[in-house]
Structure 1
């Protein structure tokens, strides 16, 4: 899995790259909401009810098709399904978080932009965890119980979360370097395009 730092920076990159032109409309509180949404799928680590166990089974057609052109591996052994780490889980979780906020605080013309930002941030969580590829994930649950993972990690793994684990600090440092560079690039590009 990626760290809270990596997920938060991804949320800020999405916010910076897609915020409305007017600074008054691109508020800081919404950036904070996006940071919360970025790590919200990890709630399944705290709530065991969101981690049902899938029995051993061969990959279904959807997972087989995805893995055949992506080169990922499908888990056939019994495994834990992390419900909030699926596309359906992310959409439901994002809806639960943003619906009351949109209704209470956001002007109607901005609903579409803010909803798209929130969904993109939620899906970025799945993408980052997939790129780390530490745990096979059933992205297509409930359509498919098959968990898939990349054969190699694109981003470094955190390892054991412990203050004495140097691997964790290395992974966070790499995330900071990569995502802050992207954030600066997006900020620079937007500042050049918006005169």
Structure 2
């Protein structure tokens, strides 16, 4: 599965995109976006502490992501200063199962309860691996994952800021070879 850093970065990207044109928006408004992007992995606590074994992990379905985004929107509607647009809350929630799908290590129950799980035959992102600080592969895979996702997220934020096409094109051409190298490295690991 994808790392918590990737999930949190996706949520933060959705917040930044949603609030790019708004000056002085509360930094606390980022919390619901990050929570939606990271939230499906909270079921790990039940797995670790009570031998809970959900199969499939329905928290990784599109239905769960949509329901969670609507719940956050309804709950936070009392705070209009937060500027929580439903479309970007949905994007933050859906980012979690999508990133896990891009790893390709395990089937993801995207269409639960209709279908058991969808598997990506080509792992575009490396798996987070064993969560141990002395695990070399955890850090290597995190570097690769951020090398792939970082430029994509940065481009989304830059586009949201209404940057000029020439400026965006120049930066994109500069970063593209590095992004392609990380992507190639990641795909090569899966072979």
Could you say whether these structures have the same fold, taking a TM-score greater than 0.5 normalized by the shorter chain as the test? yes
Aligned-residue CA RMSD (Å): 2.4
Aligned partners of 1:164, 1:171: CA distance in 2, in Å? 13
Residue of structure 1 in register with 2:112 after alignment: 141
TM-score by length of 2: 0.72
How far does residue 191 in structure 1 lie from its aligned partner after superposition? Answer: 4.7
Query: Cα offset for 1:94?
Result: 2.7
1:59 aligned partner: none
**With CA pairs under 8 Å and 6+ residues apart, which has the higher RCO, 1 or 2?**
1
1:147 Cα deviation from its structure 2 partner: 1.6
Does the 8 Å CA contact 1:50/1:83 hold for their aligned counterparts? no
Please name the residue that 1:46 is paired with: 45
Q: How many residues align?
A: 160
1:163 and 2:133 are equivalent in the alignment: yes
2:58 corresponds in structure 1 to: 83
Q: Secondary structure at the match of 2:77?
A: helix
Structure 2 partner of 1:33: 32
- How far the C-alpha of 1:186 sits from its partner, in A, is 3.1
Could you list the runs of 4 or more consecutive aligned residues of structure 1 that deviate by over 6 angstroms after TM superposition? Answer: none
2:87 corresponds in structure 1 to 116
- Is contact 2:14-2:88 (8 Å) kept? yes
Q: Partner residue of 2:96?
A: 125
* 1:20 CA displacement: 5.5
Structure 2 vs 1, CA of residues 93 and 31 (structure 1 numbering), >3 Å: closer, same or farther?
Answer: same
TM-score by length of 1: 0.71
Residue 99 in structure 1 maps to residue 74 in structure 2: yes
The alignment status of 1:184 with 2:154, answered yes or no, reads yes
User: Structure 1 residues 6, 90: closer, same or farther in 2, change over 3 A?
Assistant: same
Contact 1:5-1:175 at 8 Å conserved across structures: no
In 2, are the aligned partners of 1:44 and 1:83 still within 8 Å (CA)?
no
Cα distance in structure 1, aligned partners of 2:30 and 2:163 = 21
Distance 2:77 2:143 in 1: 34
Instruction: Assess if the C-alpha contact under 8 Å between 1:137 and 1:147 holds in 2.
Output: yes
**Which of the pair is proportionally richer in strand?**
1
Unaligned 5+ runs, structure 1: 53-79
Matched, 1:152 2:122: yes
